[in-house]
Amino acid sequence: MKMYLISDNIDTLTGMRLAGVEGVVAHERQEVREALDRVLLQKDIGILLMTEFLGKKYPDLVKAVRTEYKRPLLIEIPDRHGTGRRPDFITAYVNEAIGLKL
């Protein structure tokens, strides 16, 4: 299985290419949609990486991939600017999921 990256900046893509991950830079909704369509047709891609910025900008596209397809697994990653998540996002996520305050 391969990994593939859809990024909003060339620096993240360059770094991932150095690690052997192919990908594409996309900025507009149509570019992201076309990249997703190409990835979904490739059965050898098991993990789809997408920068958090694009995930926040187009949450409906992310949700569609996650709910309508078993593969690839879509993972949002921080880019070179860092993450936009709160420092305690994992604890908050667990609290919401199980209803207990940790």
Name the pairing type of β-strands 22-25 and 73-77: unpaired
- The average confidence (pLDDT) of the chain is 88
* Residues 6 or more apart in contact with residue 21 via CB below 8 angstroms: 3, 4, 5, 49
d(CA 62, CA 85): 17
Domains along the chain with CATH numbers: 2-98 (3.40.50.10580)
Q: What pLDDT score was predicted for residue 24?
A: 98
At 57-95, the pLDDT tens digits run 999 999 999 999 999 999 999 876 666 666 665 666 676
At 12-42, the pLDDT tens digits run 999 999 999 999 999 999 999 999 999 999 9
d(CA 66, CA 57): 16
Residue 6, Cβ density class (10 Å: 0-12 exposed, 13-18 middle, ≥19 buried): buried
